[in-house]
Amino acid sequence: MNKNGFGFNGAHSVSGTGKGRVKAFAAAWMALVLICVCLAGGCATSNGRTGESTPEGGATDAQTEVTPAPATPTQEPEPTIERTLGPGQYFAENGVIFAPEGYTSSEGSRFTFKKGFSAAIIDYTGKAFNRITFRYTSTKPLKLNIKYNVGGKAVDDRFYLEAGENMTFHGLILGYLNGDTADSIDSIAIDSLKSSTDFSLLELSTSRVDVHNDKSYFIRNDRFKVGIRLNWGGGINYIEDLTAKVSGLTNLINSHDTGRLVQQSYYGGADASYTPGTFNGSTWPYNPVQGGDQYGNSSRLIDIEIGANYVYIKSQPQDWAQNNLITPSYMENRYTVEKDYIRVDNRFVDFSGYPHGQSNQELPAFYTVSYLDCFSWYNGVNSWTDESLAHRASLNFWGDQKYADSCRFHMKGDNTETWCAWTNRGDDFGIGLYVPNIDLFYAGRYKYNGSKDASNDATNYVAPLLTLKLPNYTALEYSYLITTGSLDNIRATFKANKDFVTNESLHKNYTPERDIYADYTNLDFSKKDNSYALEAANNAVVTYSSSAKALKLRVKGGTDPQTTLNFLDFAPEQTAEKFTKLTIEYMIPTSNAKSSYSCDFFLCTGEKTAPDGSEMVRCELICDGDYHTLEVDLSALSFWKGKINLIRFDFFDDCSSGDVMNLRSFKLS
């Protein structure tokens, strides 16, 4: 994502299937080797940004100005202390002395090992710190265990390091949000996560940074106020449009629990060593979730950086269906507040090594207040041309399997207008989400009650999805925009910024799930790509026959088998007056139970969106094993006018279970 301007500073310059077992990794890799010499420079504070740090739900208008620390006053230089190395000791580049063990070979200060490399820190002294910086080179990803002291008590901490040259890792100590500080480091122990590695310790240093409130940190401008829930992995728990005038509506994001928010969430696989959890009555896969787990255990804050108009967060997520089982993975977010939108840049690295398979990935998980009752998106193929939007005002609960299919909205063809919005129909106000190059939206409502309360159990949800395999040890990166306002304003903002990133890196290890666009007025079923258009509705099974190069319509169970051609989900809108003839090309095999059949067409147009019989046309069919063309004259039908909504095809009026029709084409002309 570097080519898309991902722009993370420092170290390395987001409910599915699968699983993985992890030991409870306490947390922060911040604890690496500290450096006495580097500490002498004093305490570093966050760099300048106007922000707020307030308890959850208690957003105030008062702001705390966070400014860079003043330069250290001129003073007499400290006397130089001559330091010499003892047997088996080494200097890091910044002067820290360490004594390594457990390596198989070395060249200078470069060590080769697989497991069990350790280093005692010699004569470490320094000022109190709550953040550790570790600079290193390694040819393989690493697991780092570090021992440091807090209030005279030894703390064992764990971090994960990516492979690379001259890499820098920053980590906050375990008790950072509680205001703890450490005063010494005893040792580090490192294992390679992938075979033997060559490793160099370049720098170990510590600093003391500002401690922000353990609930929410707010950034804002004249338009937006955005809350970052620090003790829930840095997920977004608050978005307010300061210019909006909807009575009683402030926060648009549902923050009822650690699984809500706007946050990263991913699904992976696992081997037999992983014991799956359960959630919502189902066995649940390995599922790192930024906020925490289903039991309310919080994910860990690893790092925070505050800039002029952004907040950078690094966290270590919990495994959603487990109980306080933190995952061997890191999530990074950069939240930037701009004039017309909020930009979020995400980065995820999994160190589990689990054998991940293809899964729907939430990019991101996005929860709003129940008050925003209507889901809208662009369902066409003529992107960014202001064609009509699609709307769903009464979506069901996405987590109920009987409604799951009705909550999935696939992008068509090469549609690039991949944004959606939750708005209130009465106020025409809400919040929009734009994630470039996703394949579908998964959306629904839970316990809908129209509440404006962000902590209410009722919520709306959407997740832009791609089906992809999580990588191990390398980064998955993507970016998105959020804005607020009327549907027209939301769309205009996204259109003006449609090219801000491509997210093309997501399409590695990826399975496409888009609806390949079919022209519903000219369906050639000799092509499998068009086979999805005709849906089985009642007592029917619809499949594609590669040998016949046609759709195979089969009667299942009872009589009156039906299929539908749903124009409500088709763009652009089609008008009945443009078409005077409906034509199908069909074949009925002689092996069927009957020797003659008739069929019915229900032609729903104008205000009619479901058949009632008044719009039916009956036709006779030929059953001889050959293909025939059937034409229906539409010009003489008084009800054939206005918008085309639905055509239901009852392909056999009287039939037996197992009877078959092959359908080669279905056309309006």
Map out the domains of the chain with their CATH numbers. 213-511 (2.70.98), 522-668 (2.60.120.260)
Q: Are 568 and 646 in contact (CB under 8 A)?
A: yes
Q: Are 325 and 19 in contact (CB under 8 A)?
A: no
Q: 90-135: per-residue pLDDT in tens?
A: 989 888 899 999 999 999 999 999 999 999 988 666 689 999 999 9
Residue numbers of the chain with a pLDDT score lower than 70: 1-83, 123-126, 214, 516-517, 569-572
Q: Which helix (H) or strand (E) holds 53?
A: strand 49-54
Query: For position 82, what pLDDT does the model report?
Result: 57
Query: For position 557, what pLDDT does the model report?
Result: 81
Q: If you ran DSSP here, which 8-state letter would residue 250 be given?
A: -
Q: Could you tell me how many helices (H) and strands (E) the chain has, helices first?
A: 2, 46
**How long is the chain?**
669
CA distance 119 to 252: 49
Q: 235: which strand partners?
A: 229
Helix residue ranges, H only, 378-522: 487-496
Query: For position 2, what pLDDT does the model report?
Result: 33
What tokens appear for 492 in the block? 């205009």
Query: For position 18, what pLDDT does the model report?
Result: 33
Q: 36-45: per-residue pLDDT in tens?
A: 333 333 333 3
How many C-alpha atoms does 33 have within 13 Å on its Cβ side?
29
CA distance 397 to 248: 26
Each as own residue / partner, the long-range contacts of residues 632-637 (CB below 8 Å, 24 or more positions apart, any chain) are 632/581, 632/582, 632/583, 632/601, 633/580, 633/581, 634/576, 634/579, 634/580, 634/581, 634/582, 634/603, 634/668, 635/580, 635/581, 637/603
CA distance 556 to 542: 10
pTM: 0.73
CA distance 361 to 363: 6
Tokens 């470069």 belong to which residue? 110
